[in-house]
Structure 1
Amino acid sequence: MTNRPDALVIGAGPAGLMAAEMLAGAGRQVIIADAMPTPARKFLMAGKSGLNLTKNEPEDAFATHFSGSAVSALGYGQPDAFGPQEAMDWASGLGAELFTGSTRRVFPVGMKASPLLRNWLARLRDAGVELRTRWSWTGLQDGFRFSTPMGEQVLRPAVTVLALGGASWPRLGSDGAWMSILHGAGVDITPFRPANMGLRVSWSPEMTRFFGSAVKGVALHAEGQVSRGEWVITRDGIEGGGIYEIAARLRDGQVAHVDLTPDLDHQALGARFGKPRRKLSVGNWLRRVLGDPVKTALLLEWGYPRPVSPNDWAMMARNLPLRHDGPMGLERAISTAGGVAGTAITPDLELKALPGVFVAGEMLDWEAPTGGYLITGCLASGRRAGLAASAFPDARQNRAH
């Protein structure tokens, strides 16, 4: 076992595997080291409910969903960017048959991540890439130190790509432990915050029977952003794709409201509220007006002070305050904001404090909503880091001249 590999990738998620593919394609001999027993565990978990690979929309619209100090690491707006079309072409090249849903989200026909991952790992093996599992990176003393089943190992590669993920879903391997190592080496770090997370809500006892219920056919509005995705009422709050799309704005202090009837104009809704209530209780009357017990429950829970006139009821149903107690923690977030700051990297994603070390994926300080953006972004940054690393040190020598 050589301790001076040609190229080392630490982290076997989508960003790390893509970086390894770029390095191997350029003729570099690549070792991937990962702390978990098997690779890409978060990728597989994300695919359990259907692998949303990307969003089939123009790249300029796609790029508007990304933010953060290191967002330039994704390369959007540059000629060689890896956007939705490139993601679809890449997956097709691995034998995945794709389809685009009504919301323009792109999935494999079988919906699962495992067939795509199997083909990808086979292609990497055929290219000579070596995967070492249960190799946990512990430090930078005299090289890259690892805790392994064979005891401590030290590798001194010619070039390295770090792709260790953020700090969400730590049980799947992304625990953010690398942050202290890089901070100690002089790398600028932005503190982690949850992204694509649920919101905590202190429900009244009347909401207990709605725990687990899906909220459908509503629109969430947050400072000009609109989400029409479904979400779920849980014991601890509200979670799901519809919430995740606006969660970053609410985390950062913006307010949101719920339109319970986005497909019904205000006049028609007012006419519904104007029908005589007679002897119906408020709850039964609202269920008759809205036609949905879950929407009714939310209106009763968040709609105060109680409206009086039909027009005021209609206004409340169209502009229901989304009342919450803040974001859920990192351990329950789908992804994280924060990480290696944009000031810490060169345009080629090389760490300024550690020459020859490149960074990709959720380690970097960028964020995006679910819906295909996260996975494509990780692939894009892995590709850019891998291509830049494959040219090291030649690219540096060319710049010097």
Structure 2
Amino acid sequence: MSDRAGMQDAAPEQAAERLPALVVGAGPAGLMAAEALGAAGVPVVIAEALAAPARKFLMAGKSGLNLTKAELFEPFLAAYAEAGPRLRPMLEAFGPDEVCRWAEGLGQPVFAGSTGRVFPTAMKASPLLRAWLGRLAGQGAQLRRRWRWAGWDQDTSVFETPEGPRRVAAGVTILAFGGASWARLGSTGAWAGPLIQAGLPLAPFAPANVGLKVDWSGPMARHFGLPVKGVALRAGAGPWHRGEFVISARGLEGGGIYALSRPLRDGAPLVADLLPDRTPDWVADRLSRPRGKASLSNHLRKALGLDPARLALLMEFGRPLPEGPALAARIKALPIAHAGPRSIDEAISTAGGLMWEALDPDLMLTARPGTFAAGEMLDWEAPTGGYLLTACLATGRWAGQAAVRRLAR
């Protein structure tokens, strides 16, 4: 029986290739780690499991690449919840301002929208990625495609490649596998098995920034695709949150829902205020006006200004509708019945992953000196809005610079 950590089958017998630096994973964290190594003159090999790098990054850019969030640092850090203290030094070193300067240094000017979200002017990921890969190539980085990491054989990394199994021994290794969602784009979470076999602590994966499943009634079909605006949401006893979302055939999805993923995932009830800018008394007064021959739906629409999307939600989740002040109260706190979060593979990101206790302040594995970890594979989560990408870039840079220092020693 093999005693090789993380490997079920015997590793190949050919000699291991020896490299100064190895980065496993060509997503944002891995590429930033490679850039930090290359900037210090360290030759680096980037091993990517897919045929093309940064597939999830490119997919995110199809609807406008949200690079970061322009806001004061403390509110920005608060988005990472209990992982904030761990991430603080990394985000202080490479936060929103630094992300903007980095993108502009690659020839991609940026702008901040009305909500503070920062985008490249091109509104795409592909021009930025092309420039980034060009910079890495100029630094001497080598990208190896379809190299799938299979675990460790003592001090070497073992890969499944188109040419057969290969082993690599590197002076420093940076693992940047990503999370466990969107498997078709490379984030399969398959790396967790070898890490667990090697005795490293992992928190279970869970969907983050994910839509909710809803078993709609038949009449809701005509509303599928409608955006819901002008609504505030609350999960359990948490604060009210303003954000848009969409009624889809499978449920509710969009930033307003994603921001509450964590408490909803933990079972908190969801409530919507359909008129967050109006008081209950104002709503009750408007509802008390004579409606004549108008149907209740038309009365609600005309008296309160409810658009079709909000009216549809009220009819779906509020029936049987009460009368008088009780109806006003329901409009101000409408219970949203749902069947829980969508599957983990449909989530934009994942919670869980490699636990912080396995790492030193440099993001190096204490059980495997010289091996670092970065990006979404670490145990943190944050809402969409630029937080995810910024932390991936910051942790990748941090690990890369720490690897440079280790090589220098």
Q: Do the structures match in fold with TM over 0.5?
A: yes
Deviations 1:195-224 (A, max 9, x none): 000011111112111111111111112333
Runs of at least 5 residues in structure 2 that lack an aligned partner in the other structure = 1-14
Once the two structures are TM-superposed, the CA of residue 82 in structure 1 deviates from its matched residue by: 1.6
Paired residues in the alignment total: 392
Contact residue 234 and residue 271 of structure 2 kept, 8 A: yes
The aligned residue for residue 82 of structure 1 is 94
The aligned residue for residue 398 of structure 1 is none
Q: Which amino acid in structure 1 is aligned with residue 406 of structure 2?
A: F
1:245 to 259, 269, 294: 259
Deviations 1:128-175 (A, max 9, x none): 111111111112124111111111111011110000101010000010
**1:354 is aligned to 2:331:** no
In 1, the alpha carbon distance for the partners of 2:90 and 2:25 equals: 26
**1:183 is aligned to 2:192:** no
Q: Which amino acid in structure 1 is aligned with residue 107 of structure 2?
A: G
The aligned residue for residue 399 of structure 1 is none
The aligned residue for residue 318 of structure 2 is 303
**1:97 is aligned to 2:94:** no
1:326 to 335, 340, 344: 340
The aligned residue for residue 284 of structure 1 is 298
Deviations 1:282-314 (A, max 9, x none): 2232222333111111011111452211x2222
Runs of at least 5 residues in structure 1 that lack an aligned partner in the other structure = 396-401
Contact residue 71 and residue 365 of structure 1 kept, 8 A: no
Among the aligned pairs, what percent are the same residue?
A: 53
Contact residue 60 and residue 77 of structure 1 kept, 8 A: no
Once the two structures are TM-superposed, the CA of residue 78 in structure 1 deviates from its matched residue by: 6.7
Q: Give the alignment of 1:388-399 within 5 angstroms.
A: 388-394=402-408
1:124 to 115, 121, 136: 136
In 2, the alpha carbon distance for the partners of 1:128 and 1:34 equals: 16
In 2, the alpha carbon distance for the partners of 1:324 and 1:350 equals: 41
* RMSD of Structure 2 on Structure 1 (CA): 1.8
Q: Residues 148 and 72 from structure 1, CA distance in 2 versus in 1: closer, same or farther, beyond 3 angstroms?
A: farther
Q: Which amino acid in structure 2 is aligned with residue 101 of structure 1?
A: G
The aligned residue for residue 41 of structure 1 is 55
Worse-matched range after superposition: 316-325 or 156-165: 316-325
Q: Give the alignment of 1:182-261 within 5 angstroms.
A: 182-222=195-235, 223-261=237-275
In 1, the alpha carbon distance for the partners of 2:160 and 2:211 equals: 34
3-state SS of the aligned residue for 2:18? coil
1:149 to 148, 154, 162: 162
The aligned residue for residue 340 of structure 1 is 354
Contact residue 290 and residue 296 of structure 1 kept, 8 A: no
Contact residue 53 and residue 87 of structure 1 kept, 8 A: yes
In 2, the alpha carbon distance for the partners of 1:217 and 1:53 equals: 25
The aligned residue for residue 4 of structure 2 is none
The aligned residue for residue 158 of structure 1 is 171
Q: Which amino acid in structure 2 is aligned with residue 47 of structure 1?
A: G
Once the two structures are TM-superposed, the CA of residue 268 in structure 1 deviates from its matched residue by: 2.8
**1:113 is aligned to 2:125:** yes
Q: Residues 373 and 226 from structure 1, CA distance in 2 versus in 1: closer, same or farther, beyond 3 angstroms?
A: farther
Q: Residues 201 and 151 from structure 1, CA distance in 2 versus in 1: closer, same or farther, beyond 3 angstroms?
A: same
Worse-matched range after superposition: 144-153 or 249-258: 249-258
Moved beyond 4 Å, runs of 4+: 70-73, 77-80
Worse-matched range after superposition: 212-221 or 119-128: 212-221
The aligned residue for residue 169 of structure 1 is 182
Q: Which amino acid in structure 2 is aligned with residue 335 of structure 1?
A: S
The aligned residue for residue 366 of structure 1 is 380
Q: Which amino acid in structure 1 is aligned with residue 180 of structure 2?
A: A
Worse-matched range after superposition: 228-237 or 178-187: 228-237
Deviations 1:41-77 (A, max 9, x none): 0000001000011110011110000135x55553x15
3-state SS of the aligned residue for 2:170? coil
In 1, the alpha carbon distance for the partners of 2:176 and 2:223 equals: 40
In 2, the alpha carbon distance for the partners of 1:42 and 1:135 equals: 17
In 1, the alpha carbon distance for the partners of 2:223 and 2:102 equals: 42
Q: Which amino acid in structure 1 is aligned with residue 75 of structure 2?
A: A
